Structure 1
């Protein structure tokens, strides 16, 4: 995989983080979704807040890969900063759609699980991603695949935003409905 995707291509130094960051740690990510971003001043950021990501990158937790803490980064905020507990995989010669779907297969997860080190804190290293074998169709097939899949990924992103907005509205309205402040 190291021939078609990079690992951890960019990182921040402690002194060049944006003034305010949206910190994404391992507990914020689960099976394809970034569930939350912790907004904070960079002066309060943990030492692990260093990884840069970009649209189309895949993030994968190095710790306990069997739990599936991975996601595809789309429509990233410029102040998003990821934990060094992730391996960030920017696609180099293949489309992000193929990379993401490949690294989320059961076979790939098994590869990671089989390469974990440590009993109480099983983790993989970035080179475990780089050494993984990847089945690659012809570039023309990859391009057709991406042309079909990218709109689906974009729609998933749009729907996630709508779901989050509706959940916030529900959380604001439900207590008012229960208290009788708002009539139905």
Structure 2
């Protein structure tokens, strides 16, 4: 049996704080999910709600220690309520429809506390519902871990061949001043076909116009295109700012300056936002080879150590393209691509599996919550 309850009667409310990003072990959550990592945590075993902006009313959960950013509100269930059940109940509630705010959507503690939801007070039923839905999420998380391992394998192969210089046939190649014969050191600028700042627009949840890739969308390990918003843009501007397979985008400002993603496979019409810079390389540099380097911690550290800005770190196109890269002959680049392409194909399969699992869970979710399926 379902009863109506105010959120204030079943939840404790807390605020997030501005994060300090690092290569730490604790996940940092923003309104759009995972946005980075930190050496510090400020919450544990809780639900994260998007507080402001395009993802106002978003719902996430972390059963470990984590950092919640200042654009989130954190909630924990009171005694007698299962954390995972409340997470799924909130996930099926259109919290964004309660948002206020003139310039942009905003949800406050007061707004949330006054919302009524229908729940079962039977803790055993709560746990059964959570177990069913969690089975889908466990499969999704397992695929995410497998994807992360594939990404790591690609980075390790790059280091083995092009940092430690243990590439196929390296025993027969003469090395002078740290550079194998036939290889050369170059700045990224020397092998660029183009470099361009992104488009300025407001993100839209509704499917109006192309996907609008932002910094928060490239910080996680993988771009989740399903969660990337849209924007309105003219056809002439779309031609200037569109993304295609092989493009590389780099964050040029803020705490995540230097974060980068190569667009491995794009199935949507998409453009990139103004705080990103798009890199396209000429025929001297294979984009997959370039992408592994530009996504690396070493490249990110280079950008962060050389960017300007006192209050807000900023990296312009000159800094982003000034990093040095060791360029092997094209035959080695293509051989490297041949090794990696099966890994990327497997990664894409896992991503599609996760999309299907998510859709199946989302179809089941409201039926379980509304009592249409008897347990």
Return the TM-score normalized by structure 2.
Answer: 0.41
User: Which residue is 1:147 aligned to?
Assistant: 338
Contact 1:64 1:121 in 2 (8 A): yes
The number of equivalent residue pairs is 175
Residue 150 of structure 1: SS of its match in structure 2? helix
Task: Work out which of the residue numbers 247, 250, 256 in structure 2 matches 1:57.
Answer: 247
**Cα shift readout 1:85-138 (whole Å, capped 9, x = no counterpart):** 111122322222211111122221111001111122211111112211001222
Structure 1 contact 57–90 (Cα < 8 Å) conserved? yes
Alpha-carbon offset, residue 10 of structure 1: 8.9
> Is residue 7–residue 87 contact of structure 1 (8 Å, CA) maintained in 2?
no
Work out the CA distance in 1 between the residues paired with 2:200 and 2:304: 30
Question: Helix, strand or coil: the match of 2:191?
Answer: coil
Alpha-carbon distance between aligned partners in 2 of 1:24 and 1:67, rounded to the nearest angstrom? 15
Q: CA RMSD in A?
A: 3.0
The whole-number CA distance in structure 2 between the counterparts of 1:148 and 1:80 is: 28
The correspondence for 1:25, drawn from 214, 220, 223, is 214
What SS does the corresponding residue of 1:87 show, helix, strand or coil?
Answer: strand
Higher normalized strand content (fraction of residues): 2
What are the Cα deviations for residues 9-54 of structure 1, in whole angstroms up to 9, with x where unaligned? 597799xxxx8221112222224422332134437xxx9xx63221
Partner of 1:131: 322
Indicate the residue corresponding to 2:277 in structure 1.
87
Structure 1: state its 5+ residue gaps: none
Residue 34 of structure 1 is matched in structure 2 by: 223
1:70 aligns with 2:257: no
Higher relative contact order (CA 8 A, sep 6+): 1
- Cα distance in 1 for residues equivalent to 2:358 and 2:322: 41
Q: How big is the shift at 1:150?
A: 2.1
Q: 2:297 aligns with which of 95, 106, 111?
A: 106
What CA deviation, in whole Å up to 9, does each residue of 1:35-80 have, x standing for no partner? 332134437xxx9xx6322101111111136466422213324521
Structure 1 Cα separation of the partners of residues 302 and 257 of structure 2 = 13
Normalising by structure 1, we get a TM-score of 0.79
Seen in structure 2, the aligned counterparts of structure 1 residues 128 and 21 have a Cα distance that, compared at 3 Å, is same
Task: Measure, in 2, the Cα distance between the counterparts of 1:176 and 1:145.
Answer: 48
Deviates more, 1:156-165 or 1:95-104: 156-165
Following TM superposition, the consecutive aligned residue runs of length 4 or more in structure 1 with deviations greater than 6 angstroms are 10-14
Task: Work out the CA distance in 2 between the residues paired with 1:165 and 1:21.
Answer: 22
Larger radius of gyration: 2
Deviates more, 1:65-74 or 1:122-131: 65-74
Aligned to 1:165: 356
- 1:3 deviates by 2.1
What is aligned with 2:306?
Answer: 115
